[in-house]
Structure 1
Amino acid sequence: MRDVVTVFGHFGEWLQGRMGEDGPVALVTLPCPALHVHAPAEAVSEPPLFGATDLRRLAQLLGIAPDFPNASRNFAPGLGAGASTATLVALARAAGFRGDAETLAAACLAIEGATDPLMYPQPDRLLWASREARVLRHLPPPPPCEILGGFWGPPQRTDPSDGGFHDISDLVAQWEDPTCDLTRRAALASASARRCSARRGPACPTPDLAREFGALGWLRAHTGSARGLIFAPGTVPSRAADALAEAGLTGILSFRAGEA
């Protein structure tokens, strides 16, 4: 009997955009322990994300037998939460892949066209080129924080050919400063989210909710529907979750993030 592999998804990004006007699309992901994929599982998540052809190719790229178990996930694709990457990573490891993260990332990229760094043990410490499956830089860990969020609008799957993002090299330069505290990082995340919303939409109530409840900042999936408020640990107001639901966000959740 195989051991169950669990791979966590993410909840949007701290930062995402281009590194320079003509540079690669890069991101700093936000791992989310509330969202996960299990393999093997008793039942397949619906709808299945990958067919037999994709899985045979994955096995060939990784040098393993195409003996993939069922996988289940507790979140849908298109939310900006890494459903496809987390599923591929869970399936590969459950089928016996024991190689390095770089090899697994390259295989995921070949199947998806754009991939999240969920195969790495500390993905939020990477500046990640998602269309190239490579680490651009290693970053200081985000400070401990609490995220309260939900999902706004319809699911939106990532288009690997979509490069329509603002330059965030100025934000990354500040993020790299090891003295950058949670207040500053929340402001940087908010700036990245605002740039994305201004260019790509859709408008959402998250910035207003952040101001109403005294959050340090807000963040979003730059492709997808995840939206979240950033708080210092233990400071989430008791009524905030209900207010997000009243504002139209769905799937309300909270989780701890950062170095802790």
Structure 2
Amino acid sequence: MARSRVRVAGHFGELLQGRLGPGGSVVLLTLPCPALGVRAVRVAAGAALSLRGGLVSPALARRFLGGLRLPLRGCVALFPEAVPGGGAGMSTAALVALARLAGWRGDKLRLALACVAAEGASDPLMLPEGGAMLWASREGRVVRAMAPLEPCEIVGGFVGPPRRTDAGDGDFADISDLVTRWRGDLRVQAALAAQSAARRWGEAPAAVLARELGALGWVAAHTGSAQGLIFAPGTVPAGAGAALRAAGFAGVLRFRAGGGA
């Protein structure tokens, strides 16, 4: 049955992203973020589908829904809770929200493949265990299970201009060594996340702040502007958010991650 409103949570960058071996698949380990997402609301009836919000073009939405054999009519408003191109999964969340609004209850991997077909790449937002798997984002497939992120707190925001994902961009570092070393230890996880982000962005603003504020590491969107600091629970220093704002971060937020958060 079609619904009248849906919310799909996004993510906040990737703990790991790169190639699995030289010339291998582009893979990622996402950082789920329940604090950010997309709301889809059916605001008016109609014989055809129209969209408000600018996240997804009506033509792309129709192709995507048609591939899933999902009829969706009327005017649908999409409300992103983060800037598109920030690396928080707003475009994938919008597609998943449209599918669920139209009544999708089918196989989640089929939905992932439909998102990849529409966008060229997809975050694993449609999978409840998406934060504990190595995901081939250009292929819509699970590569392997990964140790889930240990409980932690993230303080982050968006720095610099939005950077929308270019599915044709293959300029990613080999992270096979980081994948092999990933295990269920927050200090190890934070250090590996920082290495992955540094291989993409070098000495980024979050790297500097992580040292200044005593964070265990930092995390970044590898195709967006999101950057954040990783802290053990209860260790975020007073004024951390203010320090990010002073460094030019926008949309500063703090959220719990890992441990089923």
1:78-157 paired onto structure 2 within 5 Å:
78-157=85-164
1:1-260 paired onto structure 2 within 5 Å:
2-40=3-41, 42=43, 46=53, 48-67=54-73, 69-175=76-182, 177=183, 180-198=184-202, 203-260=203-260
CA contact (8 A) 1:128 1:136 kept: yes
The CA deviation at 1:66 is: 3.2
Amino acid at match of 2:180: A
Equivalences, count: 252
Tell me, which stretches of 5 or more residues in structure 1 are unaligned?
A: none
The CA deviation at 1:67 is: 2.8
Amino acid at match of 2:3: R
The CA deviation at 1:3 is: 4.7
- 1: CA distance between counterparts of 2:91 and 2:17? 18
Tell me, which stretches of 5 or more residues in structure 2 are unaligned?
A: 45-50
The CA deviation at 1:49 is: 2.2
What TM-score do you get using the length of structure 2 for normalisation? 0.92
CA deviation digits over 1:41-78, x for unaligned, max 9?
559663x1222221221122111113363321211210
Question: Which moved further from structure 2: 95-104 or 53-62?
Answer: 53-62
- 2: CA distance between counterparts of 1:85 and 1:8? 10
CA deviation digits over 1:157-214, x for unaligned, max 9?
1100101010000000111x3xx3000100000110111113xxxx532111111111
- 2: CA distance between counterparts of 1:45 and 1:170? 43
User: Structure 1 residues 115, 142: CA separation in 2 closer, same or farther (over 3 Å shift)?
Assistant: same
User: Hey, which of these two has a bigger chunk of strand by percent?
Assistant: 2
Task: After the TM superposition, list the runs of 4 or more consecutive aligned residues in structure 1 that deviate by more than 4 angstroms.
Answer: 41-45
CA deviation digits over 1:3-32, x for unaligned, max 9?
532111111000000000010000000011
What TM-score do you get using the length of structure 1 for normalisation? 0.92
State the identity as a percent: 56
CA contact (8 A) 2:5 2:40 kept: yes
Give the alignment's Cα RMSD to 1 decimal.
1.6
User: Structure 1 residues 237, 5: CA separation in 2 closer, same or farther (over 3 Å shift)?
Assistant: same
Amino acid at match of 1:238: A
Q: What SS class does the counterpart of residue 224 from structure 1 fall into?
A: coil
